[in-house]
Amino acid sequence: MDKETKHYAFFQNRECEYFPCHRVNDPDRFNCLFCYCPLYALGKRCGGHFRYTEKGYKDCTGCAFPHMPENYEKITGRYREIMELVRVNDKRGE
């Protein structure tokens, strides 16, 4: 994806004390738009590179998937899955 063409799909906050929050080869291409990954809620189905800690927490520090500009459409393309997960969880909690 050309970040110059789709300004809505790319954002950087170089003033953030955590920038970049993941190790990357090219910080100029680091996308902060999905600072908190919307795919996190999908658990094992997120498609990213993660691990579970000994305490059972999902640790995404090794995953830069949501921070690569070319993955914008891949992430937004999965919003229906996220919406379905929310719908199912909300129905359980009624």
pLDDT in tens, 28-85: 999 999 999 999 999 999 999 999 999 999 999 999 999 999 999 999 999 999 999 9
Name the more confident of 15 and 4.
Answer: 15
Burial class (CB in 10 A: 0-12, 13-18, 19+), 40: middle
Q: What is the pLDDT of residue 93?
A: 74
Phi, psi at residue 46, to the nearest 5°? -65, -35
What pTM, to 2 d.p., does this model score? 0.80
- The CA distance from 41 to 60, in Å, is 12
From the number of C-beta atoms within 10 Å of its C-beta (0-12, 13-18, 19+), residue 81 rates as middle
Domain-wise residue ranges, the chain: 7-92
Q: Is residue 18 scored above 90 in pLDDT?
A: yes
